[in-house]
Amino acid sequence: MIEFNRLAVGKVIRRLRKERNLSQEVFSGLADIARSHLAMIESGSKQPNFETIWRIANAFNISPHELVKQIELEAVNN
């Protein structure tokens, strides 16, 4: 069983955001979440709820299950 890893969540979200050359300010607007909330998720100090994961996935134009899959792979590999 894979344990939840907040750092893996933040790392994946930060990586995807940077791959798309988006600032936290711009991306938080696309995801309709506060920039400070995004910063805390990316740093691993805040755990996103499912609605937030859904919004983030939509902002990346991917399905929520694809985002969760990438987070799972990050957690397994680190």
pLDDT digits (tens, 9 = 90+) for 7-61: 999 999 999 999 999 999 999 999 999 999 999 999 999 999 999 999 999 999 9
Average pLDDT over residues 72-77: 91
DSSP assigned state of 47: -
Say how far apart CA 15 and CA 35 lie, in whole Å. 16
Residue 34 phi, psi dihedral angles, 5° rounding: -65, 140
- Rounded to two decimals, what is the model's pTM? 0.93
pLDDT band of residue 6 (cuts 50, 70, 90) is: confident
DSSP 34: -
| Whether the predicted pLDDT of 67 surpasses 90 | yes
Of 6, 11, 48, residue with least CA distance to 31: 48
- CA proximity to 34, closest of 75, 76, 42: 42
